[in-house]
A and B are shown apart, each in its own frame.
Chain A
């Protein structure tokens, strides 16, 4: 399922003119995706990841406004390409920082954000600890020990299918909690995310 219907150009080669509202919608939807990708590539403790995300968004908006996106691919793929290039640049420029400063705090949060983050972390931890031991055991072995499903099955005397079912159930229960948390987060997030004009 695509985020947007942008890119319906029918290969005409004509660029589209985006209204400010459309651009703002793109930023609102793609900021978390770009942020996730950047953090994954550079590490969650990379100090300037938010600046990198902002750079990517600025480049995307500039290119869209200049008509450089002609619809040869989806808008998602277009933004992914811009993101990937920026990440590669960042890795080239700051490779030494990445390897020597992994323990730095990513950003300095304000008191309100810090409290919100702690509350959210508590909800997530509680959700995890409320799971029955048999589910926590599988989660621990799969995600912490990084054993394969086959290895877990052998260790716990279960079938591979049982291991998969336990993982699926744990993910499902955990996902329900997160949907609630994320919906709160996104509503807070969108209120402070505005397109730079």
Chain B
């Protein structure tokens, strides 16, 4: 059976959106058309049920889509409707990745530490001692890396000789450690910087120095 041309008036009639003449014409029609009347009854039940339920009908649906989602949806619709836009859009997207990716790497350094500590990422510049010294050093000093960081210093001979942490960029060497440092021997030291949450942010290279033999 074909679709009755009055069927499209059902919603308008029930929602009172028809003008008076249209409404009366439709009323007269459904007195004569059992199919339209059946649909009218069903649609009326549906509308009444929707109106009774009200907003609770969509409570489990996210109430308002984020604007970003709406924007993305619009872009997607545009791409679907206009495929020729796809190529320039893809080029722009790739360009954005290339432009912004180096910046992001600087902010999230990665380190590959092995053997003599090959460093990839931010490095801490060591200030002193970086050359041979005549006596065991009183202080180790390095360049400030950032605010609110914790530095861990490690001093090595053939093994780990001493390690300590500080929030300063300079640390005094305890006397008992200095006494262990023997003239004529080589030593090395390294500093690592950690965030307040304990994440490793920067590492220095391991610098060697020797305590000159006494004359």
Interface residues of A (CB under 8 A from B): 1-3, 29-30, 32-33, 36-37, 40, 74, 76-77, 79-80, 83-84, 124-125, 127-129, 133, 136-137, 139-140, 142-144, 146, 157, 159, 170-171, 174-175, 178-179, 182
Contact = CB atoms under 8 A, between A and B. Distances in A.
Interface string B23-59: 0100110111111011111111111011111110110
25 contacts: A1-B33, A36-B40, A37-B31, A40-B14, A76-B33, A77-B31, A83-B31, A84-B27, A125-B49, A125-B52, A127-B49, A133-B61, A136-B58, A137-B61, A139-B46, A139-B50, A140-B50, A140-B57, A143-B15, A143-B51, A157-B65, A157-B70, A175-B39, A178-B41, A178-B46
Contacts of A137: 58, 61
B34 A80 contact: no
Contacts of A84: 24, 27
Contacts of B58: 133, 136-137, 140
Given A2-B32, A171-B46, A128 B61 contact: no
Contacts of A125: 49, 52-53
A143 B55 contact: no
A151 to B, nearest CB: 13
B35 A80 contact: no
Nearest to A133: B61
Given A2-B33, A76-B32, A133-B61, A146 B15 contact: yes
B179 interface: no
Given A37-B31, A133-B58, A157 B77 contact: yes
**Majority SS at the chain A contact face:** helix
Interface of B: 1, 11, 14-15, 24, 27-28, 30-35, 37-47, 49-55, 57-58, 60-61, 65, 70, 73-74, 77
Contacts of B50: 128, 139-140, 143-144
Given A84-B27, A137-B61, A143 B34 contact: no
A128 to B, nearest CB: 5
Nearest to B50: A143
B31 A79 contact: yes
A36 B40 CA distance: 9
Nearest to B35: A1
Given A2-B32, A30-B31, A128-B46, 20 more contacts: A1-B1, A2-B34, A3-B34, A37-B27, A76-B31, A79-B31, A84-B27, A124-B45, A127-B49, A128-B49, A136-B58, A136-B61, A139-B50, A142-B11, A143-B15, A144-B54, A171-B42, A174-B42, A174-B46, A179-B42
A77, A125, A140 — most chain B CB neighbours (10 Å): A140
B49 A140 contact: no
A80 B26 CA distance: 11
B49 A80 contact: no
Given A125-B52, A140-B57, A32 B41 contact: yes
